[in-house]
Chain A
Amino acid sequence: MNDTPQAAISCQNVWQVFGPNADSALSEALSVHSEPEAAAAALREKGLIPAVQDANFEVAEGELFVIMGLSGSGKSTLIRCISHLLHATHGEIRIDGENIVEATPDRLIELRRKKLGMVFQHFGLFPHMSVIDNVAYPLRVQGVKRKAHLEKAQKVIELVGLAGRETHHPRELSGGQRQRVGIARSLVTDCSVWFLDEPFSALDPLIRRQLQDEFLQIQAELKTTIVFITHDINEALKLADRIAIMRDGKVVQIGTPSDIILNPVDDYVREFSKDVAKGRHAHVASVMEPGEGHVYGADDPGLRVDMTLDAALARCMDLYEPVPVRAEDGTLLGVVNPADLAAALHVEAG
């Protein structure tokens, strides 16, 4: 089709419209209006809901692609279009070159058994099955022999750190453990495309951080192509290779984490990055000015363009001697090393 290596996932002009006779209403709107904006407005006028409007992007093989937006922005709908839990109203969605919008029901079952895995926000565990039966279910529906599927399930359960809880039922597990089961179940078939719909949003912050770290480890090992949904900008920045930001059904910006932070396309995206500790995501290059006409001293902290702002600040602070801290009446209470001040501002080293 083209020269660049084939993308693992490619979405072209994907629309998802809810409401009566969505199909015909959308094709009518698209034939009248060339601009997606105008078509969406026409649909809204008729009382239909364009939940995803003209989404276009590609995800490379092994890439961790995060879709971020507030609730109601259409991100969950979009991932359901790509995993074909919803039939996209319009557009092309190719997974390894195959347009799944037009796949037959049998082919879809085949794809889900071999290629796709999905993790859900509220886990979607089967309440009547034990942990190991939950994890093994995707193998069971394929007719894999019980002994073989339990063996495989056991391996994945160990991978997600749930060994010893195989016979528990979901209701006996904590939220974090439940999501580990959800992750294990989605991995048991060695999927090559992995969908995660806000997998950590329902967890408390400490567990969330722990699972994020483990998720990155698993990903480093498996190198699957991932579409990951979140509403948390910090989570997106921490995990993503690239981020797509959605608002009101539209993809408003796609870029690397530092693109998003430093070059927001509009106020909506800027609003997101407000709460972010920029020092950890932006680099010296982004604040560097041309060198001509400046006078600088002999001290050289050794900055490089690809250092984060936090690291650069720490280097600069290193140049200072410790400074005094006094009481109201001027008596000396102690000293502070400026380098420690800079370090204390880091949320987390590195």
Chain B
Amino acid sequence: MAGLSKGSLAALVALIVGALCLLLETTLPWLVKFPEALVVPATDWVGAAMTWLLQLIKPIARGFSALMSYPMEATNLILGSSPWILVIAVVTAIGWMLGGVSMALMAVVGLGFVLASGYWAESMNTLSLVAVSVPLALIVGGGIGVLANEYPRFRKPVQAMLDIMQTVPTFAYLTPLLVLFGFGPVVGLIASAIYAAPPMARNVLLGLERIEPEIKEAAIMAGGTRLQQLFQVEIPSAATQILVGVNQCLMAALSMVIIAAVIGGFDDIGWEVLLTMRKAQFGPALMAGLVIVVFAVIIDRMSGTLAQDNRKRYDARVAWGILAVGVIASAVTWNSLPNPSEYSAFDGAVDAVDAGLSAFTTANWQWLAAVKNNVLYFGLLPLRIGLDEAVLPFTWGFQWTAQWSLGLFAVGAVAGLILALRGQVTWGIMTLIFVGMLETGITNLPWPFVLVGVAALGWVASGRGLAVLSVGLLLTILLSGLWDRAMLSLYLSGAAVFACAIAGGGIGLLCAESPMAWRITRPICDMLQTIPLFVFLIPVLMVFQIGEFSAFLAIIAYAIVPMIRYSRHGLTETPDEMIEAAIASGATTWQILRDVRAPYAAPTILLGLNQTILYAFAMLVIAALIGTTGLGQLIYLALGQADVGLGISAGAAMAILALIADRMVQGFAEERRKVLGL
């Protein structure tokens, strides 16, 4: 064993355990299927404990709920009963102050579109939820950030809590909140405040930590009290970062308000999307989705300008002028304007889309079905249940037999041996492991192999601590009986992440090489990142109907963006000196890419992969709405039945998977960075 590197050793152990499991699986079936008898009814326990706890704080929650309904109804009343001319004028005036003509124009055009679409009333309902939840999130998040900065002892726990909150799927919050606060818009409000507070807290803390120490010292030496230092010097110095937090907070709140529509009870735009989607009215669903996108873009771009350094100042008189015009126009047209819900400028277009879409799918169904089936039969299904079960005469044209398995392993062994002989021992062993996993399928992997494999990966990525943590957390999933579901989730997100890594990495490389490609890709990436999760479901559903393939596509569409961005960024940030040195050594373009730029970019690309994994998990839960079978579906079911135990356990299992993946990729990125001395 002495000659083996850490990676090879870990891979070898995993390989041996995997091989043993494969050999013994016929005689010892419990190796593959964890014995039912050992499963602990953890879900029920969690349910009982949570129900008890929730009952305990329910009176407080209901009181809070009653309290929050006042500001909510007030903003709802103001936004809902204000003449639309006035609302548009106010937003336009704000747009002018923030970004001049372009922002003002964007506000007019965007809100004009919303008005004409006939979804004005629903949009105002959504907006009023955001308007109440955001201040709540800003205060709570900002407060947490400032306190964590004041008391360094709390920084670590607070950071850990924020990390966990980022990985807990959005739907999982909803079930306990539903029990606590009862049906109604307050649940959406609270959920979006909870979801939107962490980015604020994170950015406030980051901004305060990043202030130059000498600036803080100067404030001390000036004789300021702690409060003076904080409010007169530190917070203003960190303003840019804090405003980034405000922007993220707004976007998170909007996204969550729309997701919270699944619990219903409030006639908002998210509900509209859901309703039309359920009725398969894709034209209206698309229209409502576009309204959401318009809001997301307006809110994002406007608040984004706040966080720019040296932003230009615009003449306030123009803003007052716009407001005055709005007030006068509202007064003149008072009571003579038709109800905005009756506008339906796009009804024709919507019907046309609906009709066009039906025509398109009927005309092309063969082709579309072929795409879908090919991916399913030759990609997803073997990955899920293994080649030995997925290869059937009516899909692949022949029956998989034991001989085939032997042949596959033989090929894998030869390939592994060649790699090992060429010095790539770790990759050689990994090849064999991959072959084995392909033959077995992710959902059929023996659980001892998964545990050992994860421990090995964790150990290589960052050491014994992570290995122990990962195995411990996975054991809770195994013991609570959620293992099969977890493996289903792992398989689908794994497949999507793999596709994102290949496609996103490729696009990132292309964009790094060609500025032209980046000019085209960049606005698309910006747009994809602005769109709330929910909206991704509409187009895939329109074309491919409910099913795993649609979910797969939706996840890719959402999760590919960070991979593209980080790959491009990593590949373009190589210092000029290093490239000049490579050129001076006589390297070709390809050699420079392979030997200099790619290794230098590796830590950044790994961070992109990490983001992609987290995005994929987030989307996986939302995609449960259109048909996935993993933990996401459980969470969604739990929400429907108000089953707190199931919701929390499944949510926790999802968070555990995300957390382990996050830590491992971070560990590898950290290690690469250390190697490069960054």
Question: In the complex, are the beta carbons of A120 and B218 less than 8 A apart?
Answer: yes
Q: Does B413 sit within 8 A of A, measured CB to CB?
A: no
Which residues from 79 to 112 on chain A have a C-beta closer than 8 Å to any C-beta of chain B?
A: 80, 83, 85, 109-112
Question: In the complex, are the beta carbons of B222 and A125 less than 8 A apart?
Answer: no
Q: Does A192 sit within 8 A of B, measured CB to CB?
A: no
Question: In the complex, are the beta carbons of B220 and A85 less than 8 A apart?
Answer: yes
Q: Does A137 sit within 8 A of B, measured CB to CB?
A: yes
Q: Does A113 sit within 8 A of B, measured CB to CB?
A: yes
Question: In the complex, are the beta carbons of B221 and A126 less than 8 A apart?
Answer: no
Question: In the complex, are the beta carbons of A141 and B224 less than 8 A apart?
Answer: yes
Q: Mark A103-141, 1 if CB is under 8 A from B, else 0.
A: 000000111111011101111111111000000011011
The dominant DSSP class at the A interface is mixed
Give Cα A114 to B237, complex, Å. 25
Q: Does A185 sit within 8 A of B, measured CB to CB?
A: yes
Q: Mark B230-248, 1 if CB is under 8 A from A, else 0.
A: 0011001101000000000
Q: Mark B212-232, 1 if CB is under 8 A from A, else 0.
A: 101101111111110010001
Give Cα A171 to B240, complex, Å. 15
Known: A113-B223, A141-B225. A128 touches B217 (CB 8 A): no
Question: In the complex, are the beta carbons of A141 and B218 less than 8 A apart?
Answer: no
Question: In the complex, are the beta carbons of A128 and B239 less than 8 A apart?
Answer: yes
Question: In the complex, are the beta carbons of A185 and B239 less than 8 A apart?
Answer: no
State how many angstroms separate the Cβ of B210 from the closest Cβ of chain A: 12
State how many angstroms separate the Cβ of A226 from the closest Cβ of chain B: 15
Contacts of A122 in B (CB 8 A): 212, 214
Question: In the complex, are the beta carbons of A141 and B221 less than 8 A apart?
Answer: no
Give Cα A140 to B231, complex, Å. 13
Question: In the complex, are the beta carbons of A112 and B222 less than 8 A apart?
Answer: yes
Question: In the complex, are the beta carbons of A126 and B223 less than 8 A apart?
Answer: no
Question: In the complex, are the beta carbons of A120 and B223 less than 8 A apart?
Answer: no
Question: In the complex, are the beta carbons of A124 and B236 less than 8 A apart?
Answer: no
Q: Does A142 sit within 8 A of B, measured CB to CB?
A: yes
Which residues from 176 to 221 on chain A have a C-beta closer than 8 Å to any C-beta of chain B?
A: 182, 185-186, 189, 195
Question: In the complex, are the beta carbons of A125 and B218 less than 8 A apart?
Answer: yes
Count of A-B contacts judged by CB separation below 8 Å: 71
State how many angstroms separate the Cβ of A21 from the closest Cβ of chain B: 15
Contacts of B215 in A (CB 8 A): 124-127
State how many angstroms separate the Cβ of B229 from the closest Cβ of chain A: 9
Contacts of B212 in A (CB 8 A): 122, 124
Contacts of B310 in A (CB 8 A): 171
Q: Mark A155-173, 1 if CB is under 8 A from B, else 0.
A: 0000000000000000100
Nearest B residue to A84 by beta-carbon distance?
B220
Question: In the complex, are the beta carbons of B221 and A117 less than 8 A apart?
Answer: yes
Question: In the complex, are the beta carbons of B239 and A142 less than 8 A apart?
Answer: no
**Residue among B212, B221, B228, B236 with the highest chain A CB neighbour number at 10 A:** B221
Contacts of A137 in B (CB 8 A): 219, 222, 224, 232-233
Q: How many residues of A contact B (CB 8 A)?
A: 33
Q: Mark B462-497, 1 if CB is under 8 A from A, else 0.
A: 000000000000000000000000000000000000
Which residues from 366 to 419 on chain B have a C-beta closer than 8 Å to any C-beta of chain A?
A: none
Question: In the complex, are the beta carbons of A112 and B236 less than 8 A apart?
Answer: no
Question: In the complex, are the beta carbons of B223 and A141 less than 8 A apart?
Answer: yes
Question: In the complex, are the beta carbons of B223 and A109 less than 8 A apart?
Answer: yes
Question: In the complex, are the beta carbons of B224 and A118 less than 8 A apart?
Answer: no
Nearest B residue to A186 by beta-carbon distance?
B221
Contacts of B214 in A (CB 8 A): 120-124
Give Cα A137 to B221, complex, Å. 11
Question: In the complex, are the beta carbons of B237 and A112 less than 8 A apart?
Answer: no
Nearest B residue to A171 by beta-carbon distance?
B310
Give Cα A114 to B223, complex, Å. 8
Known: A113-B223, A124-B212, A128-B237. A141 touches B217 (CB 8 A): no
Question: In the complex, are the beta carbons of A126 and B217 less than 8 A apart?
Answer: no
Nearest B residue to A133 by beta-carbon distance?
B232
Question: In the complex, are the beta carbons of B217 and A185 less than 8 A apart?
Answer: no
Contacts of B225 in A (CB 8 A): 109, 141
Contacts of A109 in B (CB 8 A): 223-225
Known: A109-B225, A141-B223, A141-B225. A124 touches B218 (CB 8 A): yes
State how many angstroms separate the Cβ of A180 from the closest Cβ of chain B: 15
Give Cα A124 to B310, complex, Å. 20
Contacts of B218 in A (CB 8 A): 118, 120, 124-126, 182, 185
Give Cα A326 to B215, complex, Å. 62
Question: In the complex, are the beta carbons of A116 and B221 less than 8 A apart?
Answer: yes
Give Cα A120 to B219, complex, Å. 12
Question: In the complex, are the beta carbons of A127 and B228 less than 8 A apart?
Answer: no
Question: In the complex, are the beta carbons of A126 and B220 less than 8 A apart?
Answer: no
Contacts of A112 in B (CB 8 A): 220-223
State how many angstroms separate the Cβ of B309 from the closest Cβ of chain A: 9
Contacts of B224 in A (CB 8 A): 109, 137, 141
Give Cα A182 to B215, complex, Å. 11
Question: In the complex, are the beta carbons of A185 and B220 less than 8 A apart?
Answer: no
State how many angstroms separate the Cβ of A106 from the closest Cβ of chain B: 9
Known: A116-B221, A122-B212. A141 touches B228 (CB 8 A): yes
Give Cα A112 to B226, complex, Å. 13
**Residue among B219, B222, B232, B233 with the highest chain A CB neighbour number at 10 A:** B222
Give Cα A142 to B225, complex, Å. 9
Contacts of A189 in B (CB 8 A): 223
Nearest B residue to A117 by beta-carbon distance?
B221
Query: Apart from A118-B217, A124-B215, A137-B219, what are 20 other A-B pairs with CB-CB below 8 Å?
Result: A85-B217, A85-B220, A109-B223, A110-B223, A112-B222, A112-B223, A113-B222, A120-B217, A124-B212, A124-B217, A124-B218, A125-B218, A126-B219, A126-B237, A127-B215, A128-B239, A137-B233, A141-B223, A171-B310, A182-B218
A-B contact pairs, 28 of them (CB 8 A): A109-B223, A111-B223, A112-B221, A112-B222, A114-B223, A116-B221, A117-B221, A118-B221, A120-B217, A122-B212, A124-B214, A124-B215, A125-B215, A126-B233, A127-B237, A128-B236, A128-B237, A137-B222, A138-B221, A138-B222, A138-B223, A141-B223, A141-B228, A185-B218, A185-B222, A186-B221, A189-B223, A195-B221
